[in-house]
Structure 1
Amino acid sequence: MDDIDVSPESLNKMLEHGDYLRQQGYRGRFAPTPSGDLHLGNLRTALIAWLRARLFSGKFLLRIDDLDKPRNRLGSSEKIKDDLSWLGITWDKPTIFQSERINIYSSVLSILRSEEKLFPCTCSRRMLSKANDLQNGPFLYSGKCREKKKFTEYRNNRKPSWRLKVAKEFSFLCGDIIVRRADGLIAYHLATVVDELTLGINEVVRGQDLAEQVFAQLAIIKALRQGPISYKHAPLLLDFEGRKLSKTNKDHSLVFYRDKGFSASKIIGLLASSLNLVPKGSDLSALELLSELKNDNNNLKSIFNRKVQDKLTLLF
């Protein structure tokens, strides 16, 4: 495990402060990865999350999830902030970077390990795929390494990942989840949950494609003996052929539309009309949209109950 600079006492204070912040009022966030330009689907989710926070007179934080360095693109973080600011989607306090919080995550790992809630696992993805081919239902860890009494060597020189022994109520929903990868990187689930808890986030708004991640994250929250967080998932914006938007397709990025002469208010109108918040063809700023919804925000609430995903064709 990594050298720890954050003591258990300091970590407990962070968690306690986060719990205090959650009780003071609404706190939401937008947490993109700096792996490329934001596309319209990312921006629509950011808009929804921002509207939720502002309608509740709450706080809205921007966190850059930059732990997976091989995926990061130079200049992407600044571009993300520029795009959001251009659209009028503002955030409170300084931008948070996960890469600056590694010691916090490492401290959590050490505490979980000292409580015997973690175990090393050398199962390869291929091995797990074969095991899951024999069963129906979601892809779950088989538990092969969980009950080993002693871990003395790496199998085929393969370094272990570290898994959380999830509570029984989550075992059939997510299985024992990786909290630290075999390459040494902090796993997405752990970093995300620790950030939500220590930063006092009480509602997470994100895309429907992340809905299945809830169980793994609730399992970590339970392991840390913390209170619940509300998760809401917005419908995805798909491309013209009904596929999930990709950052690799420049035609989906905000810069593409800016270069075509689209104004910020036109983009806000397009995104809002695709959610049936305003009539099609509307041209309004983020603040003007917020003002309209303050009188009636039932449409915004109903977004999370929608089953049908939206295609880009709905924008034009």
Structure 2
Amino acid sequence: MNLPDHLRAVLESGRQKRLLGYRGRFAPTPSGPLHLGNLRTALISWLQARLNNGEWLLRIDDLDTPRIRQGATESALADLRWLGLTWDGPVIMQSRRLGLYDSCLSALRGEQMIYPCRCSRRQLGAGRRYPGTCRDMARGWGLQDGRLPAWRLKVKAVDEPRCGDLVLRRSDGFIAYHLSTVVDELALGITEVVRGSDLAAVCIAQQAVIASLEEHPPSYRHTPLLCDSEGQKLSKRERAAGLAALQEKQWSSQQVVGWLAASLGLVDQHCSLSASELLQEIRARPVPLQRCWDQPDS
């Protein structure tokens, strides 16, 4: 693929970082306080990085500005610090990396690997795989009836039946999640992504984007979701309880870490220990974190 020199250099830098050892990341969206499920995933991701003597990066996925809530980023950083989950290097803000995503889009457009699509969600229906309606149609990239098109990736045939042609830039101008996430995993040299099992389904789509850039994907691990008493996954949208509710009950950070670890069977119930103490305890086991994975490695 014919990439501009600066983008090629960024991707090469990511490849070199991967050669140096394990690099993981936690990437919350600042759409509200982190709920306990988010924090449990952060804990597992942090443990996996530290067990592999690697680096753990913190990235804030703040591109979708209509969803961003004031103070949510600061709240997330405070929660992670309170739990003892320290990250390596500066906090990475996606909103400061727009030039990188735009360069990638321009390169894909220059290779005729993306195309404008004016299909609405109403036309497509919720949850349906995109049927390729606009792939071979001559449609302009500019305003039409006051609206810009979405930009879709021509997904290679081997992946197309599973995920369809993916939106990389939305019709409202926002960079789509699949593109920004993929570019960052590659540019930051992430070797393994640890995230909740609700995101397991996006692996195929993200691997398709990576293949279009002729790069190799990181490995992926998915953790079981933390559910409420009715078996429903916790969600910021429903304002699921975060640390504030436990702190109001005078829980210590050691109690919270112990409770999160016990919910995965890593320690006994009612165990109280710091994140660093939990790390030391798990290091002594022959198969660390094996029970934390809800999906097979990919």
Q: Same fold (TM over 0.5)?
A: yes
Report the alpha carbon displacement of residue 228 of structure 1 after superposing the two structures with TM: 2.1
Whole-angstrom distance in 1 between the partners of 2:40 and 2:156: 35
Range with bigger deviation, 26-35 or 157-166 = 157-166
Question: Is it true that 1:86 corresponds to 2:82 in the alignment?
Answer: yes
Q: Are the counterparts in 2 of residues 250 and 256 from structure 1 also a CA contact under 8 Å? A: no
TM-score (ref. length: structure 1): 0.89
Question: Is it true that 1:268 corresponds to 2:257 in the alignment?
Answer: yes
Do the aligned partners of residues 287 and 156 (structure 1) sit closer, same or farther apart at CA in structure 2, a change above 3 Å counting? same
SS in structure 1 opposite 2:128? coil
* Structure-2 residue corresponding to 1:104: 100
Whole-angstrom distance in 2 between the partners of 1:186 and 1:250: 26
Q: Are the counterparts in 2 of residues 180 and 187 from structure 1 also a CA contact under 8 Å? A: yes
Report the alpha carbon displacement of residue 150 of structure 1 after superposing the two structures with TM: 4.6
* Structure-2 residue corresponding to 1:292: 281
Question: Is it true that 1:69 corresponds to 2:65 in the alignment?
Answer: yes
AA at the equivalent of 2:251? F
Question: Is it true that 1:35 corresponds to 2:35 in the alignment?
Answer: no
Q: Are the counterparts in 2 of residues 122 and 154 from structure 1 also a CA contact under 8 Å? A: no
Aligned structure 1 segments of 4 or more residues deviating by more than 2 angstroms: 149-158, 248-251
AA at the equivalent of 2:191? N
* Structure-2 residue corresponding to 1:139: 128
Whole-angstrom distance in 2 between the partners of 1:215 and 1:306: 14
SS in structure 1 opposite 2:220? strand
Q: Are the counterparts in 2 of residues 122 and 155 from structure 1 also a CA contact under 8 Å? A: no
Task: Give % identity.
Answer: 52
Whole-angstrom distance in 2 between the partners of 1:249 and 1:183: 26
Whole-angstrom distance in 1 between the partners of 2:231 and 2:23: 33
Structure 1 unmatched ranges of 5 or more: 1-6, 133-137, 308-316
Whole-angstrom distance in 1 between the partners of 2:174 and 2:266: 40
Whole-angstrom distance in 2 between the partners of 1:110 and 1:250: 38
Whole-angstrom distance in 2 between the partners of 1:104 and 1:13: 11
Q: Are the counterparts in 1 of residues 116 and 139 from structure 2 also a CA contact under 8 Å? A: no
Structure 2 unmatched ranges of 5 or more: none
TM-score (ref. length: structure 2): 0.95
Whole-angstrom distance in 1 between the partners of 2:150 and 2:238: 33
Whole-angstrom distance in 2 between the partners of 1:297 and 1:109: 45
Report the alpha carbon displacement of residue 155 of structure 1 after superposing the two structures with TM: 5.7
Question: Is it true that 1:241 corresponds to 2:200 in the alignment?
Answer: no
Whole-angstrom distance in 2 between the partners of 1:302 and 1:278: 12
Question: Is it true that 1:56 corresponds to 2:52 in the alignment?
Answer: yes
Report the alpha carbon displacement of residue 305 of structure 1 after superposing the two structures with TM: 4.1
Range with bigger deviation, 245-254 or 255-264 = 245-254
Q: CA RMSD in A?
A: 1.7
Whole-angstrom distance in 2 between the partners of 1:199 and 1:127: 37
Q: Are the counterparts in 2 of residues 247 and 253 from structure 1 also a CA contact under 8 Å? A: no
